Chains A and B, each alone.
Chain A
Amino acid sequence: MSAVQVNPNDESKYAASARAFRDNVTRDLANDELRSNFRGAMDYLMDKRKTAFNDAEELETLREQCKLIKQRGLVKLPHLLEQLEEKLTANGIQVHWAETITEANEIIAQLIESKNGKTVVKGKSMVSEETALNDHLETQGIECLESDMGEYIVQLAKEHPSHIIMPAIHQNKKQVADLFVKNIEGFEHTTDVDALIQQGRNVLRDKFCQADVGVSGVNFAVAETGTLCLVENEGNGRMCTTVPDLHIAITGIEKVVEHLADVPPLLSLLTRSATGQAISTYFNMISHPRQPGERDGPSEVHLVLLDNGRSQMYSDDELRQTLQCIRCGACMNHCPVYTRIGGHAYGTVYPGPIGKIVSPHMLGLEATTNLPTASSLCGACGEVCPVKIPIPKLLLRLRQESVKAPNAPQVMKGQGSGRKSSEAIIWSLWSIMHKSPLLYRVGMWFATRLRYLMPSKIGAWTVARSAPKLAPRTLHERVKARQQTAKGK
């Protein structure tokens, strides 16, 4: 069967905002406060990472090792998913599969409704952002509250995360304080961060205590043991997976790892790449629902495995490397484009370099055709990636996919949607000319002689730059002239 399916009714809300990329960029580049917030945050995170990796040899060894761990996991992916399902089921954790975001949301809503659940607390999960789970549950009359401090702020502001690790990185403390004043009754304005966190803690502790259901993401799903691993600092992940009677975890199919022994090196690279921590405050390993005799923990644990474009990434050897990602966010922290335009301008759930190579598979290249072009290809993302994803190379590949000819073999949804016939004709003429020395010489002779006909305004190019000027003579002519002069001497 075909790896590429288009279901127009299943379109994510992020497709529209991704299409508006250029307008978003113009909007956010003009926002000085936003730019200052991102600049400060990125400098901080780059510095933290640098300090955490003080041994270059260790870093390189770990990167190579973790790349191979993830690649092994991908080679064996279908087998590992079956093993994971078998082990989890044997452990008492129920496994569900979803091809699309709609399927995932429906599975989760049904699980909640089967328990008459009305309130949900959610630990940080980018995959649930991907499915826009909160929106779906709201339509079913189920309240879904974000419990990660950053996610909580973003939810109050009716926004979505601007960074995959630090969701509210685009807001400063004054903005958070203003937001709390608007939304939390009796909150007195303060920019003291401890007081702000304390306020969030108080609101959310009540919610943890009352919630019927906890939803979480997964950082590593271990096939060998049937274990769901969660990385976090706040304790909200532990709350969501421990306090409510029903725990539903949702994750992408690429999060499976083969062995438990694969976890320590990945964990070490993940936390250090993300926030410069040797390890996160909590590393939570869940292998069973509550067992007989145990006094707490959810009586039911479910895992929803989501495809949503991942099998499409899998179908091509080069694009498959996208699935090595462990979602540390280092690529965005080091990206000169992300630092300047911020996370919301991308319009997608996953912003920054990784977002630019992941989103086209989730939303289709038609909606995201501008994203792979929004890169200077400086290479910083590829250099810091803990699992060595060649992000700049994949950006180039996606640029090619977006202008592919209509009759080219189908690799991904929306391929060729960025193709313009005028551009295609120009490039094919260029190609013909460069293949024939005679045509090339004649063409270049005319180009240099007619250089005064070059227009001074050439579309987007001259909005912020002056038009290029052709040289009066071709390089060939100049070299020839030079050689003759030299001979004459």
Chain B
Amino acid sequence: MSTTRDNILAKLKSHVKDSDYSKLPDEIGFTYPELSFEQQLEQFTRHLSNNHAQIITLSREDIGAVISKELAARDITSLLYGDNCQYSKDIEHSADSITLNKYNFDFSLNKQCLFDDTPAGITGSRCAIAQTGTIVLWPTPQEPRTLSLVPPVHFVIVDAKTLYPTFADLMEQQQWADKLPTNAILVSGPSKTADIQQTLAYGAHGPKELIVLLLNR
């Protein structure tokens, strides 16, 4: 195996002519116009809505009530959430009619249940990107990767204060290059496909619905 590696690298290296990287031409990016917070928020919600996400603007204390209402409207009575997370306490204020399940188990032991008997999940988010209407998920042991992926309805809490103008700004300011998690996910709507005759259909494999709880009050 190592010989294959060495072969490939040797072939490539034999054709590297100039290793003076300082001679490389300047790469100039596009400078996007600076937008006010309101404009960014408008951009963020416009893109997300166009991509079929439902956006509910609310204050933190309303999280429980809003979740209860949205779940009831969908005839869903249980919700999977992360324990000891930023918004866990707020989620726990939901109506008594909702069974709240903590994701405190190993996925492999509860796979079938997660796939078949978990109608909805809720997660927080690390931040958001205005330019493309994107939410950044940064899964943790408390809020694992599958929590935002397997349940057909995904509630995600986004704090408007964490909005960045572009993906590039976000990466630079948060210094992503220094430390990336096991998995970082950018989400810009519910799962979708246009693979059959260019007809858009939602809920291909991931969540059919993305409900964004936007904290901005």
Chain A residues in the interface with B (C-beta under 8 A): 1, 3, 37, 40-41, 44-45, 57-58, 61-62, 64-65, 68-69, 71-72, 75-78, 81-82, 85, 96-99, 103, 107, 147-150, 153, 166-169, 171-173, 176, 193-194, 196-198, 200-201, 204-206, 208-209, 224-225, 227, 233-236, 238-239, 241-243, 245, 253, 259-261, 263-265, 267-268, 275, 278-291, 293-297, 305, 307, 311, 314-315
Contact = CB atoms under 8 A, between A and B. Distances in A.
Interface residues of B, number: 76
Contacts of A289: 182
A37 B195 CA distance: 12
A72 B207 CA distance: 38
Contact of A281 (B1, B184, B190): B190
A427 to B, nearest CB: 30
A344 B166 CA distance: 39
5 contacts: A149-B195, A166-B198, A260-B176, A265-B168, A287-B183
B149 interface: yes
A78 B9 CA distance: 6
Contacts of B171: 260-261, 263-264
Interface stretch (B16-24, B34-42, B58-66): B16-24
A168 B197 CA distance: 8
A204 B150 CA distance: 12
A61 B185 contact: no
Interface of B: 1, 4-5, 7-16, 18, 21, 24-30, 32, 47, 51, 103, 105-108, 111-112, 115, 131-134, 141, 144-146, 149-150, 166-168, 171-172, 176-177, 180-199, 201, 203-207
A167 B194 CA distance: 11
Contacts of A58: 30, 32
Contact of B30 (A62, A68, A99): A62
- CB-CB nearest 7 A-B residue pairs: A235-B206, A296-B107, A150-B195, A234-B204, A283-B186, A235-B191, A279-B132
B191 A287 contact: no
A200 B187 CA distance: 22
Contact of B141 (A200, A239, A259, A295): A295
A245 B182 contact: no
B194 to A, nearest CB: 7
A81 B5 CA distance: 10
Contacts of A44: 198
B9 A235 contact: no
A64 B28 contact: yes
Nearest to B115: A209
A193 B27 contact: no
Nearest to A291: B182
Nearest to A196: B196
Contacts of B195: 148-150, 153, 166-168, 234
Contacts of B144: 294-297
B24 A197 contact: no
B132 A235 contact: no
Nearest to B111: A209
A176 B11 contact: no
Contacts of A57: 30
Contact of B192 (A1, A206, A233): A233
Contacts of A295: 103, 105-107, 141, 144
A296 B140 CA distance: 10
Nearest to A205: B115
B209 to A, nearest CB: 12
Nearest to B29: A65
B168 A281 contact: no
B8 A97 contact: yes
Contact of A242 (B106, B167, B183): B183
B180 A285 contact: yes
Contacts of B207: 235
Contacts of B21: 72, 75-76
A78 B12 contact: yes
B191 A234 contact: yes
Contacts of B105: 295
B197 A279 contact: no
B167 A260 contact: no
Contact of B112 (A200, A209, A235): A209
Contacts of B187: 281-282
Contacts of B206: 234-236, 238-239, 281-282
A78 to B, nearest CB: 4
B132 A99 contact: no
Nearest to B4: A97
Nearest to B169: A264
